[in-house]
Homo-oligomer: A and B are copies of this chain.
């Protein structure tokens, strides 16, 4: 089994400068820790709780920034797509197309993403059982996806809460055959729990990440921001960029142990 890969970056592509700074930091972190890093940022927060919330720079502005980040840092890039027409354009630059959790059953979107020739990372909807993700994966494979990943990010648990069922990780792996990623920042969200935005409990990011890595995952997804409290979205759950390295280093020790001892 391959060592842990890190998918990380700010929730939203807030600006060119900020994205370049974060990507630079992540590239250095990857080099120091010898861990593969994929840079993630959303060009459009298309499903904000409230319509008045900031949404990011948009597709047109984002693509040249993504290209610049790739060139300057050497990091592969991932971002999420929301409607089928976006996929081909995004795939000109972006290396891995992400299907948002709420859209994991939108057949046209998955097919359009798969047809780009780029691998696709499908997030499990919070309303879906892990054994039902195989259908989403098959939609991508039947459209000749270059590769498929699946990401666990928690399941609805009453109102305004998610729970991360660690059994989902081996179930996803067995039933889909895809590489399994654990999204430790969305898994601690409290969706809709605040007035006009989603809250969350950042302090449990490392708790859940450690559990997931010990169980065994191919990748870890973590949103990180230089100053989460100033982030335009998901500030309550993003990890401060300065805190990321010790957390990842610790998780890599669990990853080595998990992948040595087998399961």
- With A and B bound together, what is the CA distance between A85 and B82 in angstroms? 13
The reply on A215 being an interface residue by CB < 8 A is yes
Known A46-B106, A108-B82, A125-B102; judge A263-B207 contact (CB<8 A): yes
- With A and B bound together, what is the CA distance between A135 and B257 in angstroms? 37
Kindly list chain B residues whose C-beta atoms are within 8 Å of the C-beta of A163.
Answer: 155, 157-158, 163, 165
Q: Who on chain B is nearest to A210 by CB?
A: B214
The reply on A180 being an interface residue by CB < 8 A is no
The proximity string for A residues 211-234 relative to B, scoring 1 for CB distances below 8 Å and 0 otherwise, is 111110000000000000000000
- With A and B bound together, what is the CA distance between A165 and B110 in angstroms? 30
B157 touches A157 (CB 8 A): yes
Q: Which of A90-131 contact B (CB under 8 A)?
A: 102-103, 105-108, 110-111, 125-131
How large, as a class, is the contact surface on chain A? Answer: 35 or more
Q: Which of A162-176 contact B (CB under 8 A)?
A: 163-167, 169-170
A135 touches B261 (CB 8 A): no
Q: Which of A36-85 contact B (CB under 8 A)?
A: 46-52, 55, 82-85
Known A157-B163, A207-B170, A207-B215; judge A138-B50 contact (CB<8 A): yes
A211 touches B215 (CB 8 A): yes
B156 touches A127 (CB 8 A): yes
Kindly list chain B residues whose C-beta atoms are within 8 Å of the C-beta of A108.
Answer: 46, 82-83
Kindly list chain B residues whose C-beta atoms are within 8 Å of the C-beta of A201.
Answer: 167
Q: Who on chain B is nearest to A160 by CB?
A: B129
The 6 A-B residue pairs with the shortest CB-CB distance, nearest first, are A158-B158, A214-B214, A132-B192, A51-B139, A129-B159, A211-B211
Q: Could you list 8 examples of A-B contacts with CB < 8 Å? A: A51-B111, A127-B156, A128-B192, A129-B160, A155-B163, A166-B211, A213-B214, A254-B254
